[in-house]
C-alpha cells in the first residue's frame, strides 16, 4: 500500500497563506472523510491539527483549516507565523486492509 503523496517542501513569508496537498485514491482520501493532519517539530511527537477533513481540535488556531476535493486533501495555514515552521503530515483511513495511511510529510519553511 503506497503512502499518500505530499510535496516535500513548501515555504511562505510571515503573514502569507500556504496550502499543502495530500493526494491519495478513491480507496482512502477520496472515499472517506477520515483525513487528518499533524504538525511535528524536530525531535517532538506529532500534534493533531485537523481531523475528519476539516475539524480542528480544541486549542488549535483557526489559522489552520482543512478541505478535500476528490482524491486530494489540503491543509491551509493563513497568517503564517514563525512558529508554524515544522513538518506536516496527512493521514487517511484506507478501505484496503482497513488501516491507516500516512503521507511522506511536507517541510514548511517560514522565510
- Reading the block at residue 100, the C-alpha cell is 491507516
Q: Contact at 8 Å (CB) between 6 and 44?
A: no
Least gap, CB of 66 to another protein (angstroms): 11
Least gap, CB of 12 to another protein (angstroms): 22
Altogether, the residues listed in the chain come to a count of 111
At CA 43, angle to CA 63 and CA 57, rounded to 5?
Answer: 30
Binding site for another protein (CB under 8 A): 1, 3, 32, 34, 36, 38, 44-48, 51-52, 57, 89, 91-93, 97-105
Q: Is 100 or 111 the residue whose CB approaches another protein more closely?
A: 100
Amino acid at each position: 500500500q503506497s503512502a499518500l503523496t505530499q510535496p516535500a517542501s513548501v515555504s511562505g513569508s510571515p503573514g502569507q497563506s500556504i496550502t499543502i496537498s495530500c493526494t491519495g485514491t478513491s480507496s482512502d482520501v477520496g472515499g472517506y472523510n477520515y483525513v487528518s493532519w499533524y504538525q511535528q517539530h524536530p525531535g517532538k511527537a506529532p500534534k493533531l491539527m485537523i481531523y475528519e477533513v476539516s475539524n480542528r481540535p480544541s486549542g488549535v488556531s483557526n489559522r489552520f483549516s482543512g478541505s478535500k476535493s476528490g482524491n486530494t486533501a489540503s491543509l491551509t495555514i493563513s497568517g503564517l507565523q514563525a512558529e508554524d515552521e515544522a513538518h506536516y503530515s496527512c493521514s487517511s483511513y484506507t478501505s484496503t486492509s482497513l488501516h491507516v495511511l500516512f503521507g511522506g510529510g511536507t517541510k514548511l519553511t517560514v522565510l
